């Protein structure tokens, strides 16, 4: 890891723009550095939209340059595909893109083997939105440059409807919205938390079914922050069952036979960025989550 120290000489610029210039990286790479807590402004973390002042000191931690991902013959469940994009049903346990500790065997490696070339960021080619490694379900991937740019715009303007199913601890209200800014936890840099001055994050939800200790909820993220659903539900005192990072009752997950968070990307709906055709896709719960849900229902009927 390399640390760059630079002094701001242009007042009023956004922080991500200043970082991109100082570190000689792209704007998207700079934004990720800020979001990941790798940038300090005169000793303080700021959001990417923070307006820097002349004379402020930037400390930027640059990760080691990763080798570009290569194609790997990995089975890839594709549920929709055309010349511009595809939608995969990502299995739980599959990491989306190479990162420290996961330099191969990722979804990107599988996509490169299938498509040959992917647009966008060399580190995360084709990736429009991510799913955590432990999350299963539908995920859009661009395979055309114009579609990539259009899908990114659609995601920013909430034109892609994303619906998740989650089993949570306790009984939340019938429906609601969680509006709380997210950023790196000041106590643990590897975790995301609700923090003052963090990035705007909004999540709506609807309770579908209630059991003895848990509830099945439908969750619709209105923004796309790292770990957003998991952190928001935990902040609302109803964490995702099986979430070893943000959950509370690990014994509950064991009783339900869960080895990962009960979180599944169940539905995507959007207007195709090129043809304008309405695309609506649904993916049923995988077997491990079906079994956990059956156990949750059984626990309710036995009481």
pLDDT digits (tens, 9 = 90+) for 35-74: 778 898 988 888 888 999 988 999 998 877 666 677 888 8
Tokens of 42: 């005169």
Residues 251-260, mean pLDDT to the nearest whole number: 94
Let me know: does 164 contact 264? Beta carbons within 8 Å.
yes
Query: Which has the minimum average pLDDT: 62-71, 123-132, 135-144, 267-276?
Result: 62-71
Beta-bridge partner residues of 99: 102
Q: How far is CA 2 from the centre of its chain?
A: 26
132 a catalytic residue: yes
Q: First vs last Cα of the chain: how many Å apart?
A: 55
| Strand 202-210 relative to strand 214-221, pairing | antiparallel
| List 132, 145, 179, 243, catalytic entry | 132
Nearest Cα to 266, choosing from 194, 208, 218?
218
The model's pTM is 0.80
Domains and CATH numbers, the chain: 2-62 (3.10.290.10), 78-156 (3.30.2350.10), 161-301 (3.30.2350.10)
User: Which pLDDT tens digit goes with each residue over 182-201?
Assistant: 988 888 877 899 988 888 99
What is the pLDDT at residue 168?
Answer: 98
């Amino acid at each position: 890891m390399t640390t760059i120290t630079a002094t701001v000489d242009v007042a009023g610029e956004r922080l991500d723009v200043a970082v991109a210039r100082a570190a000689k990286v792209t704007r998207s790479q700079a934004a990720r550095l800020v979001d990941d807590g790798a940038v300090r402004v005169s000793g303080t973390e700021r959001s990417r939209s923070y307006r820097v002042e002349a004379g402020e000191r930037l400390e930027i931690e640059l990760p080691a340059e990763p080798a570009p991902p290569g194609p790997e013959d990995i089975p890839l469940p594709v549920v929709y595909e055309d010349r511009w994009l595809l939608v995969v049903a990502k299995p739980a346990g599959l990491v989306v893109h190479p990162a420290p500790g996961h330099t191969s065997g990722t979804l990107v490696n599988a996509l490169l083997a299938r498509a040959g070339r992917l647009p966008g960021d060399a580190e995360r080619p084709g990736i429009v939105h991510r799913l955590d490694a432990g999350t299963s379900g539908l995920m859009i991937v661009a395979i055309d440059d114009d579609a990539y740019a259009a899908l990114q715009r659609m995601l920013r303007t909430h034109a892609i409807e994303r619906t998740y199913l989650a089993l949570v601890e306790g009984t939340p209200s019938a429906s609601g919205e969680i509006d709380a800014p997210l950023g790196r936890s000041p106590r643990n840099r590897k975790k995301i938390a609700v923090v003052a001055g963090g990035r705007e994050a909004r999540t709506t939800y609807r309770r579908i079914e209630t059991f003895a200790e848990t509830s099945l909820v439908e969750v619709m993220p209105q923004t796309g922050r790292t770990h957003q659903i998991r952190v928001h539900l935990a902040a609302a005192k109803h964490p995702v069952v099986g979430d070893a990072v943000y959950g509370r009752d690990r014994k509950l997950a064991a009783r339900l036979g869960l080895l990962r968070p009960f979180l599944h990307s169940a539905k995507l709906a959007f207007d195709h960025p090129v043809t304008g055709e309405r695309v609506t896709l649904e993916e049923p719960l995988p077997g491990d989550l079906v079994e956990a849900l059956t156990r949750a229902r059984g626990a309710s009927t036995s009481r």
